[in-house]
Amino acid sequence: MAPEAGRKRRISILGSTGSIGTSTLDVIRQLGGRERFEVLSLTGNGNIDLLAAQARECGAALAVTADEKRYAELKQALSGSGIEAAAGRQALLDAASAEVDWAMAAIVGTAGLAPTLAAARRGADIALANKECLVSAGELFVKAVATGGGRLIPVDSEHSAIFQALEEDQRHAVERIVLTASGGPLRTWTREAMADVTVEVARAHPNWSMGLKISIGSASMFNKALEMIEAKHLFDVRPEQIEVVVHPQSIVHSMVGYVDGSVLAQLGAPDMRTAIGYALTYPDRAPLDVERLDFARLSRLDFEAPDEERFPALRLARVALQRGGLQGAVMNAAEETAFHAFVEGRIRFLAMADVVEAAMDRLSHLPPATSMEDVFAADEEARRVAAGLIG
């Protein structure tokens, strides 16, 4: 949604206290801050001090924590600022439903689905970092954005790259989408070694600084698996048109191959602020203080085929894409459940894929979703099944 001439762009940041949220605030700062943007709301969960500090700095009208029990703490942290404090699930949905021009969807996991949907229905342009929305709700989510009247602008670096390399009037000539994957910290590990990997080692991504969930997802390649499903819904391609290639340097963020053999790629330093900035200023580009690529110093870019034996998540994404229907929702919910069990020390690293595969098999009979209620029900059922498998 474009603001009327002369009016500041009204925005909200759902998940402002996370890795994407803080980078978004940095981009806003770089692009003019309060002079140019009116921040209506910021939302977080557990990090109350940061939420309050962010709200004070950008002059937000409202700060919301999803955690009802933290209301008094947030109110206290905002005292004297004139910024409204709110807490709980409904407050989060109300904040997401406010009339803004642009909303950053950066809440982690399925918790982001309902608020992002609320923002989409209200007609905001959605800068989508939360891939779980598309993985779970697929066409229903895309439709909700279209019905609301806003634009869906990807923020995931791979999908932003594809979005930038897609020639709008040549979509019919797209042959394939090539998602690059860094391979994560376990890229060269044997399966035997992976069996014993700790959370500390698995979360230490070689190139990107990110939140815990996506960092572990990069190590298991479940993040790439979710991105394959995200790509299908964002770019309306067939499953067989989606390829993954491992590119350890994370410089080529992804590519689009056309029927004439041409491949268009988007390159940049591994810094999410470029994709966030593009989502904020699209279709324009604005100057950002991020590292520039020095090709002479880079000297080489490596590519290799992914190993689906060591990283079964990629195979499971293909299964989910082939089966269609609610398998994305099931995969996403089972993966989130297995992720929590791994970080809490209840299952080992490789068991995450086993849990997801078993949950997907058990729930492969679910009919395609006709409403968001079907998606939420499948999500709940998959969490129950996965929890039962974990024991």
Residue 156 or 335 having the CB closest to ligand NDP: 156
- Segment interacting with ligand NDP, rule: CB under 6 A, options 162-170, 203-211, 239-247, 340-348: 203-211
Cβ proximity of 338 and 356 under 8 Å: yes
Q: How far is CA 148 from the centre of its chain?
A: 20
Partners of 174 in the β-ladder:
258
185 is a site residue for ligand NDP (CB under 6 A): no
For residues 274 and 289, give the distance between their C-alpha atoms in angstroms, rounded to a whole number.
9
* Inter-helix orientation angle 19-30/272-281, to 10°: 60
- Segment interacting with ligand NDP, rule: CB under 6 A, options 123-131, 282-290, 307-315, 380-388: 123-131
91 is a site residue for ligand NDP (CB under 6 A): no
Inter-CA distances, 25 with 12, 58, 150, Å: 10, 8, 21
Cβ proximity of 115 and 90 under 8 Å: no
Candidate list 111, 124, 152, 280; residue touching ligand NDP; CB under 6 A: 111
Inter-CA distances, 181 with 159, 267, 364, Å: 12, 13, 28
Q: What part of residues 155-184 is at the interface with ligand NDP (CB under 6 A)?
A: 156
Strands 125-128 vs 152-154: parallel, antiparallel or unpaired? parallel
Cis peptide before 283 (omega within 30 of 0): yes
For residues 144 and 376, give the distance between their C-alpha atoms in angstroms, rounded to a whole number.
15
Candidate list 210, 314, 320, 333; residue touching ligand NDP; CB under 6 A: 210
For residues 236 and 224, give the distance between their C-alpha atoms in angstroms, rounded to a whole number.
17
Residue 44 or 138 having the CB closest to ligand NDP: 44
120 is a site residue for ligand NDP (CB under 6 A): no
265 is a site residue for ligand NDP (CB under 6 A): no
Q: How far is the CB of 33 from ligand NDP (least distance, A)?
A: 20
Q: Count the neighbouring beta carbons within 10 Å of the beta carbon of residue 206.
A: 14
Partners of 11 in the β-ladder:
39, 102
Q: How far is the CB of 370 from ligand NDP (least distance, A)?
A: 25
DSSP, collapsed to helix, strand or coil, labels residue 243 as: strand
Sign of the alpha-carbon torsion through 28, 110, 228, 199: positive
Q: How far is the CB of 360 from ligand NDP (least distance, A)?
A: 20
Where b means 16+ CB within 10 Å and e means fewer, 58-73 reads bebbbbbbbbeebbeb
Binding mask 320-359 for ligand NDP (x = CB under 6 A): ----------------------------------------
229 is a site residue for ligand NDP (CB under 6 A): no
- Segment interacting with ligand NDP, rule: CB under 6 A, options 16-24, 140-148, 193-201, 371-379: 16-24
For residues 147 and 38, give the distance between their C-alpha atoms in angstroms, rounded to a whole number.
25
Cβ proximity of 222 and 131 under 8 Å: no
- Segment interacting with ligand NDP, rule: CB under 6 A, options 204-212, 260-268, 295-303, 325-333: 204-212
131 is a site residue for ligand NDP (CB under 6 A): yes
| Size of the residue set binding ligand NDP (CB under 6 A) | 28
106 is a site residue for ligand NDP (CB under 6 A): yes
21 is a site residue for ligand NDP (CB under 6 A): yes
User: Which residue's CB comes closest to ligand NDP?
Assistant: 18
DSSP, collapsed to helix, strand or coil, labels residue 231 as: helix
Candidate list 63, 103, 108, 333; residue touching ligand NDP; CB under 6 A: 108
Partners of 264 in the β-ladder:
256
- Segment interacting with ligand NDP, rule: CB under 6 A, options 72-80, 146-154, 211-219, 251-259: 211-219
Candidate list 140, 214, 219, 314; residue touching ligand NDP; CB under 6 A: 214
Candidate list 47, 170, 281, 364; residue touching ligand NDP; CB under 6 A: 47
Candidate list 7, 29, 34, 46; residue touching ligand NDP; CB under 6 A: 46
Task: Find the radius of gyration of the CA atoms of the chain.
Answer: 20
Under the rule (CB under 6 A), what is the footprint of ligand NDP?
Answer: 15-21, 44-47, 66, 106-108, 111, 129-132, 156, 208, 210-214, 272
